Amino acid sequence: MEGAHALPVRVYYEDTDFSGFVYHASYLRFMERGRTELLRGLAGDQSDLHRDADGLVFVVRRMEIDYLKPARMDDALTVLTGTRELRGASMHLTQAVCRGEEILVRAEVVVACVRAGRAIRLPDSLRRALSRPA
């Protein structure tokens, strides 16, 4: 994923199940951190966006995940997050959790921009930041 935001993650005991492999839901947390850090790097804290944009929040609308290979405790992973497409009120992101060059988990994520329970257009400043090549 050329130009993607990269977040290093270490696998801890709490991320694994009784078999010693990373529990499937732990990857969701890793990817959430990746999306959060992507936005933080482009637009600052989500709490600032929420305050400055009169209650704007981001919600996962859709996620498609392929679990390809397992990770284990103490593995050093990287969460890659890139913009695939921007629409009016949503961003379509591609994410991958990797161990070195090996892709363990791949996901397509649609994140909606919402205020007071209703979809709203992505702020222009965020749209520009997400559209910039890395």
- Residue 60 · residue 109 · CB < 8 Å: yes
Give the C-alpha distances (Å, rounded to integers) separating 40 from 10, 11, 113, 128, 133: 20, 22, 15, 14, 16
Selecting among 15, 17, 48, 54, the annotated active-site residue is: 17
Q: Among this protein's residues, is 124 annotated catalytic?
A: no
Q: In the beta sheet, which residues pair with residue 10?
A: 76
State the catalytic residues. Answer: 17
